[in-house]
Amino acid sequence: MSDRRQNSGSNARPARAPRPQQSVQPARLVAYEVIAAVRESDAYANLLLPSRIQRARLNSADAALATELTYGTLRMQGFYDKVIELVADRTVDKIDPAVLDVLRLGAHQLLATRVATHAAVNESVALASQVASRSATGFTNGVLRTISRSSLEEWRGWVQDETEGADEKLAVLHSHPAWVVRALRTALEAEGRGSELEQLLEADNAAPKVNLAALPGLVDATDAAALGDANRFSPIGFELSGGDPLGVTDRFGGAVRVQDEGSQLAALALSRAEPVRPGERWLDLCAGPGGKAALLAAEARLSEATLIANELVPARAGLVRNAIAGVPGDVPVWELDGTTIGAAHPAEFDRILLDAPCTGLGALRRRPEARWRKSPGDVAELSVLQGKLFDAAFQALKPGGILAYVTCSPHLGETLGAVNGAVARWGDALEQLPTRDILDGIAANPLDIGGNGLTAQLWPHRHGTDAMFIALFRKH
């Protein structure tokens, strides 16, 4: 056992543990509850956290702390687990899951925040005594005190020494599954940008900015400018300058929405690919929860086009109805299986958005636990669905119409693989449009997109957006 592990495992002589009745600070308790719910019941942290913050009546400083602790711990879980394994001298599957969550939360406070060591350790021990057995307190205390004695850099060095393989080292250091690291490397290499891998992994672990879309035609330019700094690329986007995003969106009655800049560009790529002829019919095939549908509805309204939104899952169709409620006019929301729409509505639409169900590997910043829930098998399964949805959308398109194929994933199986498959199936009937030039014509600044120009991959580390993939096609 090396020095760094001394006085750490269950054999170690524990330092004096806090009295069991010591209460845990509410922000930490909220973070723990959410992290535990993610593990126990597959909860989504981004959906559960706001309600837990509200239930605990946290003030804004504590709400910010709870958010940072929850997201940071879930994102960096892979790295913290390796540190905990080194200290405890056992694999994490040999540790009581509740205690492991406490240790992860404690490790995050010690290695990635300015929380004082004594507060991080004592509160974790008190938490362990609440959520696990009393005997867990000594173990928790020993492990966290050992972690606290070395710096993040030292732990990074030891973790690296103990891990075999280049991608595996990056995976554990940047807390991604190794197969995801390999997929991201391959996607960057396809653009000749393999050297940017570490920047991308770092960007995945940074908290994303809160970004707003001011729906075209519904928000006065002066009001929009007051929302915050204009986005670098999206012509309708702003970075929230401060305050509660829900308060801002309520004030504008849904005409201002929280939306990633990449998602805005994906919807605008379709609506602004070429001038709209009045009377055009548009379809958003996989619309839930409705962010892009709201933007397309606003765009359609300005150019006398009509939009239909479709979403398979009824609860998500309800979210689409809420999302478009802020846009005057009628947008029917269908609840059909998109794979059947080509046969049911052949050659009916002038523009179709296929924002396909995907692994979401491009949005790891905002869904901190998502990386641990995906597997390579998901890519294989989703690729089949993506192909069926593509074919249905293409059938539903009028000759001359435009299809935008979009994923929130840079995995080549879901991006260029899907495009190549569609080109092979549809041959001359399918024309790939110059997506890069079209996007550059829409964006406020040049995007410097890689590849051959027929598709566009956005990147968190390059563009500050989710890793959205966009490919535009015309039907002949």
Ligand X SMILES: C[S@@+](CC[C@H](N)C(=O)[O-])C[C@H]1O[C@@H](n2cnc3c(N)ncnc32)[C@H](O)[C@@H]1O
CB of 311 to ligand X, least distance (A): 5
Please say which residue, 190 or 313, places its beta carbon nearer to ligand X.
Answer: 313
The distance of Cα 425 from the centroid of its chain, to the nearest Å, equals 31
Please say which residue, 72 or 362, places its beta carbon nearer to ligand X.
Answer: 362
Q: Does the annotation list 417 as a binding residue?
A: no
* Count of residues interacting with ligand X (CB under 6 A): 19
CB of 281 to ligand X, least distance (A): 18
Please say which residue, 286 or 305, places its beta carbon nearer to ligand X.
Answer: 286
Identify residues 302-341 at the interface with ligand X (CB under 6 A). 310-313, 316, 337-339
CB of 299 to ligand X, least distance (A): 14
Q: Which residue in 58, 317, 408, 458 is the catalytic one? A: 408
Site map (CB under 6 A) of ligand X, residues 257-276, x = contact: ------x-------------
- Annotation says 408 is catalytic: yes
Sole binder of ligand X in the list 291, 368, 410, 450 (CB under 6 A): 291
Residue 362 engages ligand X in binding (rule: CB under 6 A): no
Residue 286 engages ligand X in binding (rule: CB under 6 A): yes
CB of 360 to ligand X, least distance (A): 8
The span of 35-43, 90-98, 219-227, 289-297 binding ligand X (CB under 6 A) equals: 289-297
Sole binder of ligand X in the list 26, 245, 289, 434 (CB under 6 A): 289
Sole binder of ligand X in the list 142, 216, 262, 288 (CB under 6 A): 288
Nearest to 123 by CA among 240, 29, 201: 29
Residue 381 engages ligand X in binding (rule: CB under 6 A): no
CB of 462 to ligand X, least distance (A): 21
Residue 89 to residue 106: CA distance in whole angstroms: 18
Binding site for ligand X (CB under 6 A): 263, 286-292, 310-313, 316, 337-339, 355, 357, 408
Residues tagged in the binding site annotation for S-adenosyl-L-methionine = 286-292, 311, 337, 355
